[in-house]
Structures are given as structure tokens and as C-alpha cells.
Chains A and B, each alone.
Chain A
Amino acid sequence: MVENPNPPAPDIAISVRDIKKNFGFIEAVRGVSFDLRKGEFLTLLGPNGAGKTTLLNMLSSLTRPTSGTATVAGYNVLDGNPALRKEIGVISHSSYLYADLSAFENMLFYAKIYGLENPKARAVEVVAEVGLKARLHDRVRTFSRGMLQRLSIARATIHNPSVLFLDEPYTGLDQHASSLFKDYLQSLHTQKRTLILTTHDIQRGFEMCDWVAILVRGRIVYMERAESIKRADLENIYIETVKKNMAPQ
């Protein structure tokens, strides 16, 4: 393993340097770099096909970058070290839950796979934390979309990760479910976890974050602290930035 000549500072949770990913001739991510401190929340906005999911897949070690480096919770994603995956949780628009198992059985399975102590107790605990204890032994197939997303939070946090990646988690949620989901997200943020959220919902993405970044055509073309942006301006900033960077070059 080649040592990183510029290792990230100890308070940096995620450090990305010129990371790229090609699928054949298609450049999905074209050199992204940023740092995120522990406990910070980054909202990543961008049009469809901008490379948001690919970027998160690389950071969660699901996809190997074509070039560049990234360190998450102190582990280089290129090493494929299983210990990295102990530090991360992923919530996506897919639930990663087995439809024919109950909520308890799903959580018990993940607790066993993560090698947690006392998996049964932990499975019950996380289901209760997301307010689904009454449905503990019901098949996941019978759950509404909102309940599925709450159970996804339980699955992603069962091993108490320090970093969470949220890939368009609001997809398919109604207003009430979105509001509940936002509350759970808020509680994850207050627990000092580092979060990256990708979303198309600009206002919702802006609500809790510390940083806002806009990814267009595989590049971060805008990154600013949330406190320096006026909420009312964000939509215009987004539209103008995307328009400028999507224009034929």
C-alpha cells in the first residue's frame, strides 16, 4: 500500500482527492475533491446523471475509483478494508431489506452479519428507535414506503456508524413520511455523525446541512457553507450553476 503523502487532519472524517470514475468511455465522476470534518453535514445537489450516486458508491467502497484517493473515517477506500464498512451506513431509495422477513428478522440478520454482541436485543432496540416496535414481527412486504425508509435508518445505524451516506432517501415519500424522516435525520445529525445527503429537493436538502455542493457532469462546480447562503437564493444559485455548467462547451 502506498502511503498518502498528505494524510487528512485528525478531525477530517471524509477526505476526497481528485477522484474519478469511468464506465467504459463514459466519465461519471471527473475529479472531485473536498474535505468534510467530523460531525458535518454535506448536501450534494445535482441534476440526474451528475455522478452523485457513483460518488457515494465509491466513498462507501461499493465501486472502485478509476483514479484518485478518498479517505473515510481514516480508511482509504481503495484498500477495500472491511473495517471501513464498520464505520459507514448507507440509506438509499432502495431499502436493502428482505421483503419476506419481518422487521425483527431483517435487523437480526444485519446484526449477525455485522458481528454485533447480543444481536437480538440490538435488533429490537433499533426497530424501537425508529418507532416501529408495534410492527416488529410483521413482514416488511406489508410496510408502507415511509415505514420502509424508517426501517432503512434502523438497518443503516444498527452498528452505530460514524459516517452516513444518504442517496436520495426522500424518493417516493409523501409529505408526512418526509417530515418524519427529516426528524430522524435531524437526530442522526445531532449525534455528531458525519452525513452526506444527495437529493433533488433543494429546500429539504438545505434544512439541516453545514455545506451545500452542486455536482454537474461529474464535477463539483459549487461548494459553500450553508450559513453563507440565503435560503431564498439557493434555488436560483442551483438553476444558474447547473445551466452554466450544462451548456455545450
Chain B
Amino acid sequence: MMNQFMRQVAAIVWKDFTVELKTRELFVSMFIFAVLVILIFIFSVDLSIVKANEVGPGILWVAILFAGTIGLNRSFMLEKENQCIQGLMLAPIDRSVIYFGKMLSNLAFLLIMEAFLLPVFMIFFNIDLISHLFPLLFVILIGTIGFSALGTLLSSLSANLKTRDIMLPILLYPMMVPIAIGSVKMTSQVLAGEGLSSVMNWVGLTLCFDVIFIGVSIMTIDYILEE
């Protein structure tokens, strides 16, 4: 039963990756947008006055969240074209399979984009990420999981609205505040050379919200997709 669930989730992830490999629409637009955000900030901040360690994490997360929203908007639009979402809903699968498939696709696309973005961030801000790599990757991973979990749910909700391009950020950003603050704080402290042990309260908070967002999504996705 569990194997079948995982295979069906994997099928949705495989489908999203195959589409992306053919079109390259999502990755390219997300990456270019994120780089542009970092570029704009780098010209507005005088790094001889402020420390890169202090402003960098906020700018990095703004770039990730804004670029990620582009990806989320596209995620369910793919399912709306030719009403493919109906085809998925007609399949003998639990609706949570659709949610987890789309969420893992979004998460994977974001993580790949971040893997390309971090070297750009390192060069522009002249911050040594290598020496803090593992704690930094952990912090980025748990922040991105929360963003993908909530973003996937809300993009499925807003996909049916005429004003979806506006509604997704309006719904998403206020609810993302706890994870965004936690992620910025954790990244900041990790880049300042403090270990993960010093940010455990933020790690706990972020993980709590990850679990809450995933739990709420599983409970509500049935109704959201049906309506």
C-alpha cells in the first residue's frame, strides 16, 4: 500500500521533471529572477558600511521566496492546461498523492535553483559559505520545505481563481512570516559562525511550522481540489 503511494507520488514528480526538462520554463525564470533580486539589492547596499553577514541572509531569502512564487504559480497552471487536474482526480489515487507529488516537485525545483543561486550569492556578497556549508544547507532545506508545503496548498487553491497571480502572494507571504523570520535568523547566525546548536529554538519553530503546513494540507486538499 505504502509502496503504491510512493510510486504514484514518484510518477507525478517524474512527469513534472519531464515537462521541465523539455520546456526549461520554470528553472530559467526562477533563477534569473532570483539573481536579479540579489543584483538589485547589491547595488542598493553599501557593503563597506554594513556587514554582508547581517544583510545577506535577508536578501537571500527574499530572492528565494519571490523566485519560488513564480514556480508555485506555474506548478498548478501546468495541471490546468487541458484540464489535466481532472485527469489526475479521476485516477484511483488518494488526493494527498497529488499534493505530495506537486509539493516534492516544487521542493526539488527550488532546491536545484538554490544550489545554483548560492554560489552567485557567495560571489556578490563575498561571504565564505563553504566553511558553514552543512549547517547552511540544513537551514535552507527546512525553510524551503515549509515554503513548498504551504505554497503548493495555496497554489492549488488560487489556480481556480481569475486573480490567481495576485492571490497567491497575498495569501502566501503573511502565512510564511514565521518560517521566513526563522530562516533569516538561522541563516544569519550560521553565517556568523555559530553552530546549529545555537539556533535550535529557530530550527524547532521552523520544523513545527513545516509539520503544521503539511498536516493542514493533507486535511484540506480533498476539499480544495474538489471545489
Hey, which bits of chain A sit against chain B, CB under 8 A? Answer: 60, 62-64, 80, 82-86, 88-90, 92, 94-101, 105, 109-110, 112-115, 139, 155, 159
Contacts and interface: CB of A to CB of B under 8 A. Distances in A.
Contacts of B81: 98-99
Contacts of A82: 92-94
Contact of A62 (B14, B86, B93): B86
Contacts of A64: 226
B4 interface: yes
Interface in B1-53: 4, 7-8, 10-12, 14-15, 18-19, 22-23
Interface residues of B, number: 28
B15 A60 contact: no
A96 B22 contact: no
A92 B87 CA distance: 10
B89 interface: yes
Interface of B: 4, 7-8, 10-12, 14-15, 18-19, 22-23, 78, 81-84, 86-94, 222, 226
Contacts of A98: 15, 19, 78, 81-82, 84
Nearest to A111: B11
Which 6 residue pairs across A and B have the least CB separation, nearest first? A96-B87, A94-B83, A112-B11, A82-B92, A85-B92, A86-B92
Task: Count chain A CB atoms within 10 A of each CB in B11, B78, B92, B226 and give the residue with the most.
Answer: B92
B92 A100 contact: no
25 contacts: A62-B86, A62-B226, A63-B226, A64-B226, A82-B93, A83-B92, A85-B91, A94-B83, A95-B82, A96-B82, A96-B84, A96-B90, A98-B82, A100-B19, A100-B22, A101-B15, A101-B18, A109-B11, A112-B11, A113-B88, A114-B91, A114-B92, A115-B4, A155-B87, A159-B92
Contacts of A83: 92
Task: Count chain B CB atoms within 10 A of each CB in A60, A99, A109, A139 and give the residue with the most.
Answer: A109
Task: Count chain B CB atoms within 10 A of each CB in A88, A89, A101 and give the residue with the most.
Answer: A101
B101 to A, nearest CB: 9
Contacts, number: 79
A88 B84 contact: no
Contact of B7 (A86, A100, A115, A139): A115
Contacts of A90: 86, 90
Nearest to B79: A98
Given A109-B15, A112-B8, A60 B84 contact: no
A98 B80 CA distance: 10
Nearest to A89: B90
B201 to A, nearest CB: 41
Contacts of A84: 92
B170 to A, nearest CB: 24
Nearest to A109: B15
Contact of B92 (A63, A112, A115, A155): A115
Contacts of A101: 15, 18-19, 22
A98 B15 CA distance: 9
Contacts of A62: 86, 89-90, 226
A70 to B, nearest CB: 16
A60 B82 contact: no
Contact of B90 (A80, A88, A95, A97): A88
Nearest to B98: A113
Task: Count chain B CB atoms within 10 A of each CB in A60, A83, A90, A96 and give the residue with the most.
Answer: A96
B32 to A, nearest CB: 20
B93 A100 contact: no
Given A85-B90, A100-B23, A114-B92, A92 B83 contact: yes
A30 to B, nearest CB: 21
A63 B90 CA distance: 11
A88 B92 CA distance: 10
B77 to A, nearest CB: 12
Contacts of A85: 90-92
B82 A94 contact: yes
B82 A113 contact: no
